[in-house]
């Protein structure tokens, strides 16, 4: 698979679909090979990703973040859990 760019992720959140209206880094983490660890919250499995310096360089809005948590809803949307 071709490596996706920040612009690709920005397009994904602007179009209808599983990432619509989410932050541009959501599809980036969703497309990672695997999460760093899982949590069970709100009756769902939550994928947790540690934010590393490379992630922060690509997405400056994550500068103060340590972890991004994602859940896939029953409708197929991917959302961030805060």
Q: Give tens-digit pLDDT for 19-75.
A: 999 999 999 999 987 767 776 666 678 889 999 999 999 999 999 999 999 999 889
Whether the pLDDT of residue 3 is over 90: the answer is no
d(CA 51, CA 41): 20
Q: Give the bridge partners for 67, in sequence order.
A: 50
Whether the pLDDT of residue 1 is over 60: the answer is no
Residue (of 11, 9, 29, 5) closest to 79 by Cα position:
29
């Amino acid at each position: 698979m071709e490596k996706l760019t920040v612009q690709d992720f920005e397009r994904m959140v602007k179009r209808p679909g599983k990432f619509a209206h989410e932050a541009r880094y959501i599809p980036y983490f969703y497309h990672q090979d695997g999460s760093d660890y899982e949590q069970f919250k709100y009756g769902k499995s939550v994928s947790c990703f540690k934010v590393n310096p490379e992630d922060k360089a690509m997405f400056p809005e994550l500068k103060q973040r340590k972890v991004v948590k994602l859940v896939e809803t029953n409708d197929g949307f991917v959302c961030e859990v805060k």
